[in-house]
Amino acid sequence: MHTAYPPGPRIPRAIQTLLYAKWRGLLLDTAARRYGDVFTLRLVPPYAEQLVVFSRPEHIREIFAGSPADLHAGEGNRLLVHIMGTRSVLLTDEQEHARARRLLMPAFTGSALHGYRGMVEAIAKTHVDRWVSGSTVTALDRMNELTLDVIMQVVFGMTDERRRDELAPLLRRIVNINPIVFFGWKWPRLERYGVWKRMRATQRAIDELLLAEIARRRAHPEVDQRADVLSRLLAVGAGDGADQPLSDAELRDQLITLLLAGHETTASALSWALQELAANPDIQEAARRAAHDGDDKYLKAVLKESMRRRTIIAATGRRLTRDLTIGDIPLPEGTVVSTSILLAHKRSDNYPDAARFRPDRFLDGSVAANTWLPFGGGVRRCIGAGFSLMEGTVVLREVLGRFTVALPEGGRAERARIRNITHVPAHGAKIVVSADAPVR
Ligand code: HEM
């Protein structure tokens, strides 16, 4: 196929890569202003060498509705293979991916979510009980602790606090991974030294804990009566034999994927939402009223608008396995196409008054299809989307039912920084919490 990639920045590849890794918003905004709706970034591996960026709803629809055989998990995901493993649902394609999703989905259906809610409420209460009125709280840290507790219980049904206390710091170390570690994976000999050696040791320690948990659960007499993800996965293949049972290695990959994909993202979303509410007192008042009245719809709209304005995952990537035309743009096999969540959420044709925090847009039916993309779309749409909205609503209700939140004196809403692949508030979303203000 003869291809001229859509035009894009002409600065050197290495500089584009640095900007993409550290100041992605700036690079994308500038490129979109200069080159329009579709442009090409040229990056250094392990990023895509040609990354074609899309944000118009019709292009997004086409990419998400495309055949999974033509559009494989992208380069961004490839970086994660060393952490999540080669069998992870996030990283496999076609039949292997479809099987993993089929096995995991029952743990995230509406009725399963309903079953988890009481547990999330109890954990949220225990955590918010520790907040002290008048103190400044780093929302991201608090939310990370909370969502990690939640995901460990959903994934493992891990009620033993001692075992959770062993696993939690190891998972935190992985989430806080130093980006330099990625280079170690290109040159395995580095694993004998410094940060690379420590990361390897952390991974080994996590594997030991996960495999011990799997063995313990296999031996549990009532494993078939438990609702956590691990117990459900262990039951695969026991009935009519339609699916092969999962090996320990496959179980390990899916479990670590859920543990990592399922907590930092939700923690970031919640810390952004609290910061938005702190910066918008009128909307906070409406949200506190909603928390008081049990109006989950409004709280969910707050979360959704916050996820729109404060993007958590910047994009999804797909590598073309054959020549493909998207819109009227012919692209050759090997190109990585990016659905830019960051740009789609800022487009003024998608969102009038896009810069403003306005949860009511999610209540009046004005948000069009293929414009709100925090969870991606198509066959790889986030498995935990419903779970994370449920969890977020429960947590907002717990916090706002008891506290008002404000920006610290002289403080301003924080900008984003990229941690691993998640966009988080640069200083952790510092907020001052106060109890006892009457609900108006
Ligand atoms: C606010 C919270 C969350 C955000 C913003 C988020 C975002 C995303 C996005 C954008 C994708 C698509 C990746 C792609 O297309 O390549 C994804 C996939 C995924 N997410 Fe989430 N996620 C969140 C919460 C969760 C939770 C709570 C869980 C699990 C309990 C979870 C598990 C997964 C898994 C397993 C996938 C892979 C799906 C597949 O490839 O088929 N996520 N998530």
DSSP state of 317: E
What's the CA gap between 372 and 354, in Å, rounded?
A: 12
Ligand 1 lined by 265 (C-beta under 6 Å): yes
Q: What's the gap in Å between 303 CA and the centre of ligand 1?
A: 16
Q: Decide if 109 is inside a domain.
A: yes
As a dihedral over the C-alpha atoms of residue 269, residue 274, residue 278, residue 283, rounded to 10 degrees, the angle is: 80
Q: What are phi and psi of 235, to 5 degrees?
A: -80, -15
CA nearest ligand 1 atom 16, residue:
316
Q: Is the minimum distance from the CB of 216 to ligand 1 under 6 angstroms? A: no
Residue 249 placed within a domain: yes
Q: Is 340 in the pocket of ligand 1 (CB under 6 A)?
A: no
- Residue 277: what pLDDT? 98
Give phi and psi for 307, each to the nearest 5: -65, -30
Cα angle for residues 202, 73, 92 (degrees, 5° grid): 65
CB 256 within 8 A of CB 83: yes
Ligand 1 contact via 338 beta carbon (within 6 Å): no
Structure tokens given for 407: 């920006």
Mutation test residue for ligand 1: of 382, 388, 390, the one with most atoms within 8 Å of CB: 382
Radius of gyration of the chain (CA): 22
Instruction: Output the CA 265–ligand 1 centroid distance in Å.
Output: 8
Give the distance (Å) from ligand 1 centre to CA of residue 189.
Answer: 32
Does residue 268 lie in a domain region?
yes
Give domain status of residue 5, yes or no: no
Which helix H or strand E contains 423, and what residues bound it?
strand 422-425
The answer to whether the beta carbons of residues 203 and 218 sit under 8 Å apart is: no
Q: How far is the CA of 261 from the centre of ligand 1 (A)?
A: 6
Atom of ligand 1 nearest to the CA of 387: 27
Nearest ligand 1 atom to alpha carbon 388: 27
DSSP lists the bridge partners of residue 41 as: 51
Domain-located, residue 210: yes
Ligand 1 contact, 210 CB (< 6 A)? no
- Does 4 reside within a domain? no
| Ligand 1 pocket member 383 (CB < 6 A) | yes
| Domain coverage including residue 368 | 13-435
244 within a domain of the structure (yes/no): yes
With CA atoms as reference, report the closest residue to 44 among 80, 15, 71. Answer: 15
* Of 413, 129, 421, the residue nearest 274 (C-alpha): 413
Task: Determine the 3-state secondary structure of 102 from DSSP.
Answer: helix
Per residue of the chain (440 residues), give pLDDT as tens: 656 899 999 999 999 999 998 889 999 999 999 999 999 999 988 788 999 999 999 999 999 999 999 999 865 566 688 788 889 999 999 999 999 999 999 899 999 999 999 999 999 999 999 999 999 999 999 999 999 999 999 888 877 788 888 888 888 888 776 666 666 666 677 777 777 788 888 888 889 999 998 998 888 877 777 888 898 898 888 766 678 889 999 999 999 999 989 999 999 999 999 999 999 999 999 999 999 999 999 999 999 999 999 999 999 999 999 999 999 999 999 999 999 999 999 999 999 999 999 999 999 999 999 999 999 999 999 999 999 999 999 999 999 999 999 999 988 889 999 887 889 999 999 999 999 777 87
pLDDT of residue 75: 59
Question: What total of structural domains would you count in the chain?
Answer: 1
- The answer as to whether 213 is a domain residue is yes
Question: Distance (Å, rounded) from C-alpha 185 to C-alpha 173?
Answer: 17
137 contact partners, CB below 8 Å, separation of at least 6: 131, 430, 431, 432, 433
Cβ(435)–Cβ(314) below 8 Å: no
Left if phi > 0, otherwise alpha if psi is -120 to 50, otherwise beta: which for 71?
beta
Task: Look at the alpha carbons of 411, 413, 414, 420 in this order and tell me if their dihedral is positive or negative.
Answer: positive
Q: Tell whether the torsion through CA atoms of 226, 232, 234 and 236 is positive or negative.
A: positive
Global pTM value: 0.94
Sign of CA dihedral 140, 256, 213, 156: positive
Distance (Å, rounded) from C-alpha 124 to C-alpha 396?
9
**416 neighbors 144 (Cβ within 8 angstroms):** no
Query: Can you give the CATH number for the domain in which 189 is found?
Result: 1.10.630.10
8 A C-beta contact, residue 50 and residue 40: yes
